[in-house]
Structure 1
Amino acid sequence: ATPNVNDATNTIDLKLTGVTDDAHNPGVGSVSSANYTVDTRPADTIGPTTATVALASSALTAGQTTTVTITFTEPVSGLDVSDFVVPNGSLSTPAANADRTV
């Protein structure tokens, strides 16, 4: 396997034209194995690098609230209000889903 590669589309192909049966009849065509995956990347050593932030409503007046949904590409921990900058507003304590990705 090639180092630092994750490839999910691999098969082993066999050309039957290179073999014969006991009656010396040549093989015909080829066959392929089922798909297999190869992952030679090193263990995860980089933290989250991307997330999406979506607002239920993007036009608020004084005193109104909206739900903010943050979706991470991998589970996170330690997220709290101090991680945000919210000019002209405030956030309540974030709540995570069971997978810790939202």
Structure 2
Amino acid sequence: MTGVTLSSADLDVRRRRILFRCWHRGIREMDLVFGQFADNELSTLPEADLDEFERIMAEEDNDLVRWIMGTLPVPAHLDTPLFARLASYKPDFEEVTAALLGKAE
């Protein structure tokens, strides 16, 4: 759950770049959401979904985490089935934080 599990060996250049960006967002919570989504869905996303995914990735991480956590409403331009699928990869951030700090039970 904390690192890339999808091999980039069989991915085209665009998908390899996206995979790297998903796991290197700058905010660990977003690494987990985007990275898990990419590991599970990137290789089969059609080009139109890749375009939308890259537009989502261009949003600020601080905003994304709030939209995904539900502390801010999702703006209309992101209220799409793809964003909902992405947001479904939201881990239990309290558990993840505890594990990262070495406090997991």
Query: Higher strand proportion, which one?
Result: 1
TM range (shorter): under 0.3
- Structure with greater contact order relative to length (CA < 8 Å, sep ≥ 6): 2
TM-score, scaled relative to structure 1: 0.19
Query: Higher helix proportion, which one?
Result: 2
TM-score, scaled relative to structure 2: 0.18
Larger Rg: 1
